[in-house]
Structure 1
Amino acid sequence: LMACAKVISQFELLGPGDAGRRREWSDEEKIRIVEESFRGHRQGSATARRHGISRSLLTLWRRAYRENRLVASPEGFMAVSIAPGPVAGPESGTDADARIEIVLANGRRILVPAGIDPGSLARLLPVLERA
């Protein structure tokens, strides 16, 4: 008689509730993980393992971080400072020509018309921060 060999392999069966196993990371979390990966020598792989992400994903996040594409709290409040502007002289235009200078967190400066719609400006600023 021939002996019957039985092979048992281990595998995981995913149910319908497990379909969304991908984790969504906020920009704040990505920034924290990337900055952690920069500390010390050869910390990238260890950091990726510690957070359960692939080394290649961490590499993508690091590139986005260096290119200022990771923005912490893009839809939250932004720091604003008001500085005295130049004194209006006779050569100045009307109020319709008034401009507001905005310094973004990434260091860029933009000039916008003083009468800009606040809603439009609120949609514009996060885009300019990421650009």
Structure 2
Amino acid sequence: MSAHMPSDRSFQLLEVVPSRMENSPAVARRNWPDETKARIVEEALAPDVNVSAVARRYGMSPSQLFGWRRKAIAKGQVERREEPGEEAGASGGVIEIGIAGATVRVGPMVSEDHLRRVLRAVRSA
């Protein structure tokens, strides 16, 4: 009629975690809209930003945001922004470069890699 009770009157506590059980339903993944992803990645690419803090603000894992950034940069969807170096000067002036009949104006926020690409394009045109 009733289950056998151990003589020392002890019991065992069993914890069941549904996500760990076989055949348990998969936890639903969040589906981030592309516009939201782009906005979060853009925010995470700003100079002097703490990517982990941005991730926490949106309730996501920092590794997920670092992955989104890496993929967006690799696909060419965004470009890594860099602080101007000390050699850029405190004045924040614009540099003009005359090459192949064209004038290229460069501000202090332009990265060296980007400037190289622009100058190569102007030379080859």
So what's the TM-score if we normalise by structure 1? 0.37
Q: Which has the higher contact order (CA 8 A, sep 6+)?
A: 1
So what's the TM-score if we normalise by structure 2? 0.38
